[in-house]
Structure 1
Amino acid sequence: MTCLHWPAEQLWEQLSPLAPALSVEVVAQTGSTNTELLERARRGDTAPCLLVAEHQSAGRGRQGRSWQSLPGDSLTFSLGLPYAPASWSGLSLAVGVAVAEALHEQVKLKWPNDLWLLDDHGHGRKLGGILIETVPLPGGGRFAVIGIGLNVARAPETADARNAAAALRELDGQLSAPAALGRIALPLWQALQAFEREGFRPFAARYAARDLLRGRAVHTTQPDAPEGTAAGVDEEGALLVHTPAGTRRIESGEVSVRPC
């Protein structure tokens, strides 16, 4: 097993001026970093925490999907904090913007919560995902947990290479999970602060610059927009889809690219 050296103290020194109460924890293994922080909050521990796991045995994505990770192959972490934005709409997009900008110009965003790697031919493959969950706080407000999982090591070659997962080492062969976390942590915290103050609107143009779906034919799970052409997002982060019956606004659900 590869011995990873996590910059926990350096991260804390970076973040502490903005978040004096924040703790940075690295564990060898846990079921799910999101679940761990949610359970702590339910028990009354609502101090901000950045929790990193080298291995998750029960990692989760959206719609209950599992997220598999092995030490060194993936970066899996969650950031938990009391959070009170005026509107939660578009939060996963703002988080995606912060992460993508911190990593590489080829990292794009697939609405609503996926990070993709786009090659020179315009083909994309999934690089990672974002899972945001909340629990109510006794005195009001909510405790938010922002979970992020990223593939670091390249997936084994398969016959269907275009559908294989992407990995950060395709962009930088020397990049490690700890180094990727070092790039992401501060921009992520800054984005969360900005979103809490101003919502999604300040992130809209930055999201548009990374929007994987815009202009592409898509399928959606929304009954009145089963297929159409993605037309970006609005100021609240909802996906706009042009259909023969007009433009539809999609706030939740699944969206897939329709092959041409």
Structure 2
Amino acid sequence: MITPIIHRFDEVGSTNDVALEMARKGAPEGTVVLARSQTKGRGRRGRTWLAKPGESLILTTILRPPPERYRQMAFVAAVAVAECLEQECGLEPQIKWPNDVLINDRKICGVLTESASGAVVIGIGVNVLQTDFPEEIANRATSVAIEQICTPLALSNEVYPSADRPGLPSANGAGCSQPIGVDALAESIVRHLFAAYELSFEEILVRWRKYIWGLGRPVDVTTEGGTITGMITGIDSDGALLIDEDGGIRRVLSADAINVRMSPSLQSEI
């Protein structure tokens, strides 16, 4: 399995941007950028990732799969996070296609993959220590601290210099003051990610389907070509979302999807 090479920062604009620049300069597979805070965090389609310093796990890793595997990396990352939250934290995660991780229908993790210079950078943001959220997202966001304290990871608001604890040695020598719970979770997610990376896409999809959110539930899928309303029936062998729309199966590619949400119109009919 890949050995992680960790670069720690107290603050960056975006861990993905830092990793992309490192990839362009030839950084090896397994390079990880870990930050306590970022000022320009982003998600899919330019959405903003909001977090106070030290409350979220913010990391990006560089992998160098063959080009035909690039699009698979978002599924790999989502499975890794879901398995980590389930096995290490005792939570019951679900994956909202294609790669958001939810707990009780609320988002706890986002994944953003980008490619450059023969590499894929995988950005992962997990809400860990937050106990409340801004009003505009309070009804659709959650954190590890809100759902359940992760006893094995010793979640805490205390901070320790990275040099004072084992695990994830820092390649750049930065003594980033990171909450120990966030750092322990980062170590676990990196381990799960690199293990999942070794699996075939068929194996990843089997694991992904275990966590599928919304199966058999009514959804509106907003795409570049309009809105598809129907029931989620699963994903196919390419990872495309399958929607039963009036008895016909519609196939939606992740590149075409803008948003997936529960459908109020169909909910009122069942």
Question: 2:100·2:110 contact (CA, 8 Å) conserved in 1?
Answer: yes
Give the Cα separation in 2 of the matches to 1:42 and 1:94. Answer: 23
Cα RMSD (Å) = 2.2
The counterpart of 1:255, out of the listed 243, 254, 260, is 260
Q: Cα gap change, 1:157/1:74 in structure 2, threshold over 3 Å: closer, same or farther?
A: closer
1:153-175 per-residue CA deviation (whole Å, 9 max, x = no partner) reads 23427778971411011221642
Report what 2:215 is aligned to. Answer: 214
Shift of 1:184: 1.2
Aligned residues: 228
Greater mean deviation of Cα atoms: 71-80 or 223-232: 223-232
Letter in 2 for 1:97: V
The counterpart of 1:97, out of the listed 79, 83, 89, is 79
TM-score by length of 1: 0.80
Q: Cα gap change, 1:159/1:148 in structure 2, threshold over 3 Å: closer, same or farther?
A: closer
SS at 1:205 equivalent? helix
Q: What does 1:43-54 align with in structure 2 at a 5 Å threshold?
A: 43-46=25-28, 48-54=30-36
SS at 2:19 equivalent? helix
Q: What does 1:236-251 align with in structure 2 at a 5 Å threshold?
A: 236-244=238-246, 246-251=248-253
SS at 2:142 equivalent? coil
1:111-137 per-residue CA deviation (whole Å, 9 max, x = no partner) reads 01201002xxxxx111110001001x3
* 1:131 equivalenced with 2:112 (yes/no): yes
Question: 1:225·1:241 contact (CA, 8 Å) conserved in 2?
Answer: no
SS at 1:128 equivalent? strand
Q: Which runs of 5+ in 2 are unaligned?
A: 156-180
Question: 1:225·1:243 contact (CA, 8 Å) conserved in 2?
Answer: no
Letter in 2 for 1:178: D
TM-score by length of 2: 0.77
* 1:184 equivalenced with 2:166 (yes/no): no
Give the Cα separation in 2 of the matches to 1:184 and 1:129. Answer: 13
Give the Cα separation in 1 of the matches to 2:2 and 2:56. Answer: 26
Shift of 1:89: 4.0
Question: 2:56·2:126 contact (CA, 8 Å) conserved in 1?
Answer: yes
Letter in 2 for 1:78: T
SS at 1:51 equivalent? strand
Segments of 4+ in structure 1 off by > 6 A? 157-162
* 1:146 equivalenced with 2:128 (yes/no): no
1:191-212 per-residue CA deviation (whole Å, 9 max, x = no partner) reads 1122xxx22x112222121111
* 1:39 equivalenced with 2:39 (yes/no): no
Q: Cα gap change, 1:33/1:180 in structure 2, threshold over 3 Å: closer, same or farther?
A: same
* 1:19 equivalenced with 2:7 (yes/no): no
Question: 2:70·2:120 contact (CA, 8 Å) conserved in 1?
Answer: no
Q: Cα gap change, 1:224/1:231 in structure 2, threshold over 3 Å: closer, same or farther?
A: farther
Q: Cα gap change, 1:234/1:108 in structure 2, threshold over 3 Å: closer, same or farther?
A: same
Letter in 2 for 1:185: V
Give the Cα separation in 1 of the matches to 2:124 and 2:49. Answer: 10
Identity over the aligned pairs, expressed in percent? 32
Question: 1:56·1:68 contact (CA, 8 Å) conserved in 2?
Answer: no
Give the Cα separation in 2 of the matches to 1:181 and 1:157. Answer: 21
Give the Cα separation in 1 of the matches to 2:208 and 2:246. Answer: 26
SS at 2:129 equivalent? coil
SS at 1:214 equivalent? coil
Give the Cα separation in 2 of the matches to 1:162 and 1:68. Answer: 12
Q: Which runs of 5+ in 1 are unaligned?
A: 1-17, 119-123
Question: 1:103·1:183 contact (CA, 8 Å) conserved in 2?
Answer: no
Shift of 1:68: 2.0
* 1:115 equivalenced with 2:101 (yes/no): yes
Question: 2:240·2:252 contact (CA, 8 Å) conserved in 1?
Answer: yes
Shift of 1:241: 0.4
Shift of 1:258: 1.7
